[in-house]
C-alpha cells in the first residue's frame, strides 16, 4: 500500500540563541518553506498544531492559505484546532477561503482540546459552556455547528432590501468550498471518541498520546482504536472513504549530525502518567539507522493500521534539518516498509 507520509509541526519558537526559530515571524515563514520543501521531497502532507497563549503556532488559517498559494500538490492540515476556542461560522468562512486558495487540499483536524497555558483560556475568547455542559460538550457543540455549516445549505434570512442582490432562498456562509466537509478530521483520545467521529463522518487522527484504556502499549491501544473507528464508519454508511492517521517521533540516523542530535535517544518504552485529569499513555520515540527503524515500525500495529503517518518534526532545528529528516524517511525507510 502507499502510505500517506506527512509532517506535524508544533511551531515552537523561543528567543534562545540555540533555536533557529526565535520569533513568531520565524516560525510562520519557516513553516511555509518547510511545506514547500516537503512537497519537493515527495511527502504528502504538511500539518500544524494549534496552541493558544503559547510561543507556538496559533491561528492556522493565514498560514494554511499562504502554504496553499505556494504549493500545488501536498495536503495541508491541522492537528488539531481546539474547538473550545472557535466561532464555528467565522471558522467556516476562513476554512472555505483557505481551501479555495489551496485548490481543495485542506485536511482540517479538530478536537476538544488539550491542557493549555492558562486556566480556561476559551473564556478569554468569549466562550463558556451552556448550563449543564462541560467544556468538552461545548467543543463538540461548536464542531457540530461547523460541520452543518460546511454542508453549504442556506440558513440565514436575507434582508428584503439588501445592499447587493441575493440568490433566492436562505443564505449560507460564503465562501463555500465544495468537498471540504468530507475532509474534516477529529483528534480522538479514546475508542468512544473515535466511534463518535466516525458516526459524524469525520476522519480520525491519533497522536503520540491517548487515554489509557487497558494498560497496553500505545500502538496496541491505537490499533484497537483505529479498528473500532473503521467498523463504526462502515456501519454509518458514509458515501466517502474514512481515513486514519497516527503521529510518531521518528528520526532516521544517516549521518553524524543525526547521530549528534538523536544518537542514544531511541526510547523503546511507552510511559504512563496523568494529563488533564485522566490517565494517559505516551508513545516512544524512534531514532535509529534505517534498517533498524524498518524493523521497529513493522512491529507498530497502529502505524500498520493507519493510512497516514505524520512525523513530528523538531522545528526549532530549522527548515534544512527538518527537511533532511523527512527526506531520509521517504528515501531510506518508507521503501523498506513497502510504502514507496
The 10s digit of each residue's pLDDT in 105-159 is 999 999 987 778 899 999 999 999 999 999 999 999 999 999 999 999 999 999 9
* 282 or 92, higher pLDDT: 92
| pLDDT band at 279; cut points 50, 70, 90 | confident
Positive or negative torsion for Cα 15, 17, 20, 26? positive
Going across the sheet that includes 271-275, the strands are 209-211, 278-282, 271-275
What integer pLDDT is reported at residue 316 of this predicted model?
97
Check residue 266 and give its pLDDT.
63
Here the cell at position 215 is: 494498560
Confidence at residue 276, expressed as pLDDT on a 0 to 100 scale? 72
Around Cβ 92, how many Cβ atoms within 10 Å?
A: 26
With bands split at pLDDT 50, 70 and 90, how would you rate the model's confidence at 1?
low
Query: What is the pLDDT at residue 269?
Result: 79
Region label for 44, one of left (φ > 0), alpha (ψ between -120 and 50) or beta (otherwise): alpha
Q: pLDDT tens digit string along 240-260?
A: 999 999 999 999 999 999 999
What mean pLDDT comes out for the span 1-9?
92
Summarised one tens digit per residue, pLDDT across range 178-213 is 999 999 999 999 999 999 999 999 999 998 888 888
* Residue 276 backbone class (left: φ over 0; alpha: ψ -120 to 50; beta: rest): left
The interaxial angle of helices 88-101 and 60-70, nearest 10 deg, is 10
- Tell whether the model's pLDDT for residue 215 goes beyond 80: yes
**Buried b / exposed e across 210-229, counting CB within 10 Å, b at 16+?**
bbbbeeebbbbbbbbbbbbb
Above 80 in pLDDT, residue 268? no
pLDDT at 61 over 70: yes
Give the residue with greater pLDDT, 115 vs 24: 24
- Give per-residue pLDDT as tens, 73-95: 999 999 999 999 999 999 999 99
Specify the pLDDT at position 264: 78
pLDDT at position 267 over 80: no
Ramachandran angles phi, psi of 274, nearest 5°: -120, 135
Q: What is the pLDDT of residues 303-340, one digit of tens each?
A: 999 999 999 999 999 999 999 999 999 999 999 999 98
Average pLDDT, the chain: 95
Q: CA-CA distance, 251 to 36, in Å (whole number)?
A: 20
| Alpha-helix residue ranges (DSSP H) falling in 86-217 | 88-101, 135-150, 191-199
Amino acid at each position: 500500500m502507499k502510505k500517506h507520509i506527512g509532517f506535524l509541526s508544533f511551531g515552537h519558537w523561543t528567543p534562545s540563541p540555540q533555536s533557529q526559530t526565535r520569533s513568531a515571524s520565524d516560525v510562520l515563514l519557516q513553516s511555509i518553506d518547510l511545506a514547500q520543501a516537503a512537497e519537493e521531497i515527495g511527502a504528502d502532507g504538511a500539518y500544524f498544531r494549534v496552541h493558544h497563549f503559547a510561543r507556538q503556532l496559533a491561528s492556522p488559517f493565514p498560514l494554511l492559505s499562504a502554504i496553499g498559494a505556494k504549493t500545488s500538490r501536498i495536503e495541508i492540515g491541522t492537528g488539531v484546532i481546539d474547538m473550545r476556542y472557535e466561532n464555528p461560522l467565522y471558522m467556516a468562512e476562513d476554512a472555505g477561503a483557505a481551501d479555495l486558495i489551496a485548490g481543495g487540499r485542506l485536511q482540517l483536524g479538530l478536537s476538544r482540546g488539550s491542557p493549555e497555558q492558562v486556566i480556561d483560556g476559551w473564556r478569554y475568547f468569549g466562550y463558556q459552556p451552556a448550563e449543564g455542559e462541560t467544556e468538552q460538550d461545548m467543543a463538540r457543540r461548536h464542531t457540530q455547528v461547523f460541520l452543518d455549516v460546511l454542508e453549504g445549505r442556506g440558513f440565514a434570512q436575507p434582508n428584503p432590501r439588501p445592499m447587493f442582490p441575493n440568490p433566492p432562498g436562505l443564505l449560507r456562509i460564503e465562501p463555500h468550498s465544495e468537498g471540504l466537509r468530507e475532509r474534516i478530521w477529529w483528534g480522538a483520545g479514546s475508542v468512544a471518541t473515535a466511534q463518535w467521529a466516525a458516526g459524524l463522518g469525520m476522519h480520525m487522527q491519533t497522536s503520540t498520546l491517548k487515554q489509557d484504556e487497558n494498560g497496553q502499549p500505545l500502538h496496541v491501544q491505537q490499533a484497537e482504536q483505529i479498528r473500532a473507528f473503521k467498523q463504526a464508519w462502515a456501519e454509518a454508511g458514509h458515501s466517502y472513504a474514512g481515513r486514519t492517521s497516527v503521529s510518531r517521533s521518528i528520526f532516521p540516523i544517516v549521518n553524524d549530525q543525526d547521530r549528534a542530535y538523536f544518537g542514544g535517544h531511541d526510547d523503546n518504552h511507552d510511559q504512563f502518567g496523568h494529563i488533564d485529569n485522566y490517565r494517559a499513555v505516551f508513545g516512544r520515540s524512534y531514532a535509529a539507522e534505517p534498517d533498524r527503524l524498518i524493523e521497529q515500525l513493522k512491529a507498530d500495529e497502529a502505524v500498520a493500521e493507519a493510512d497516514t503517518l505524520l512525523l513530528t518534526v523538531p522545528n526549532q532545528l530549522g527548515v534544512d534539518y527538518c527537511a533532511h529528516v523527512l527526506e531520509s524517511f521517504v528515501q531510506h525507510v518508507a521503501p523498506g516498509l513497502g510504502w514507496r
